[in-house]
Structure 1
Amino acid sequence: MTKRIRRGLSASAAATLVVASALLAGGSAQAAGTTPPRPTVHTQKAYAPEDDFTAHWTRADAKQIAKLSDPTAAPRTNSMPEALTMPQVPQDFPTMTDQAYVWDTWPLTDSSGQTYSVDGYDVIFALTAPRTLSFDDRHTYAKIGYFTRPTGIPSEQRPENGGWTYQGNVFEDGVTDGIFPDQSFTQQAEWSDPRG
């Protein structure tokens, strides 16, 4: 799926890489002479679990959280304006799998938020943890799991859970040991990052 191209780095390519890195690290888009992307226009409509709907969540959307959040909000209260928040997930929301807790779910997309089908399957990722843990311990042991379902099945023909099949973890256990050699802490949870 991934193509790797090796080429020499010219001076202009190196300059482009430096500017792009600065922008991705939070530098001003104005410095590069471009306007930052606008957040996605949202309808604020809540969808039922069986509806055929994919939310588009972009970097521009994620940056709006800091911009619109009230820093004076009391702990355990919503810091976002009421008009921008969605209803809580109902208790009877369908369980996607009995094998793991599932939260923070996102589809496989490109940088513009367009979803992809891979070999005839839709793919979504989610933070997952074994159901043998307590609900609060799930954060300590979070892994990025993934689900697949055949592409093109109308929503009314899918099972209650949307037709998703849990495929397990994206990364093998221990893979973060090679990425993060500092083992001064005991757990290395995997987390989603809206910055990409």
Structure 2
Amino acid sequence: MSRPDEYRRSKWTRDHASRLRRTPDTVAPIIYPPERAVSEEFHLWDTWFLRSRDGSLAEVDGYRVAFSLSASSSLLPGKRHDEARIRYFYSTDGREWTYGGPIFPEGEAFGSRQWAGSALLDDDGTVYAYYTAAGHRDEPELTYEQRICVGAGGTVSTDERGLSIDGPWEQSVLFEPDGVRYQTQEQSNRQNGPIYTFRDPWFFEDPATGESYLLFEANTPIDDPDPERTYNGCIGIARSETGDPTDWQPLDPILDAERVNQELERPHIVVRNGRYYLFTPSHLHTFAPGLSGFDALYGFVADSVFGPYEPLNETGLVVANPENAPFQAYSWLAFPHGDEILVTSFFNYFDLNGLSLDDVALLPEAEQFRRFGGTYAPTLRLQVGGDRTRIWGELDYGQIPLEEESPTPPDHIRYRGSGGDGEDEDGNHNGSY
């Protein structure tokens, strides 16, 4: 098993990515607008859950908690990132979600906007809310510096009215890029990089060692003027030598996509049968010239958190939007459930009829609103065996079952065998090959 002082960075190569193709096992079902959105007041997109140290969904007095990037639903969907705030929702059944409020009081968090992160309910009941601080508080114009931060010290309480998460919070910047392991924004600007990333902190405790890690999205420094090299996405990792959720030391990246892809977003790990499944969503427009990818969830597998990682399904493709709905969902998040892995996402743009996302911005405002989902998408069921995966079922919109809960009654699910809808080849509905 690799250790921090001996691992070599894994590679997602152009050879892997050049073979990307949609297959029956990797294409998600078409999503149609739900009868009712989780929130009429807010656009919702990147979503994660309150988890325990072991990665399981935390349950507090019968409630589970979801955190979402959000903005007023009166904003044009394409402008939502400019006012993003983290808000939380809670549920007793993992289907019906109630709005709790913003996780931080206005003006308390770092940055002018809050981007994606993760949330830990520690063994002593303390909440650690990890997030990306984009820009700077009270800046007159939006800037795009990104810092990995945490709000520590929150508590969860419940009463007859529901669930509440409250401070006081101690806000801190955990670490910043050094320009050696991870590219700085100044380096990216100087080298005309397409998109700069240093964000999306994800807490992970290794079940094999009990050590605590923080995964994050970043870019590798480059010294080559070749434009292909500016596509330099990587998955970074930091270690807490003390186990303190606020004390982190960045290590070398565990995987890079140099010359392949610029953005390996929201990296996270699911451990299953002793193997480490590393997942990351990415966009079709962030692939390097000469490569054709998708808005999709990509994945890799290894025998330890440090690798070496190999791409799942030979290319890395795990969940792709259908060809006729290429932007219907995004920001997939995988989590374990019994013998299978469940995958959540948000309902993005639909009914585009061949339009690109750039084209959407040219539509009348009413059409931009109509074609944006802005709510939780149906949860997918994923079979996993070794280095292979297959989408085999679908749950309700935003359905998040606890480990001990049966995912759904059979009549609420679409089973997907290799020949289309129906059972798998053996008539089984289990989560493994």
In the superposition, the TM-score normalised over structure 1's length comes to 0.47
More strand by share: 2
TM-score for the superposition, normalised by structure 2: 0.24
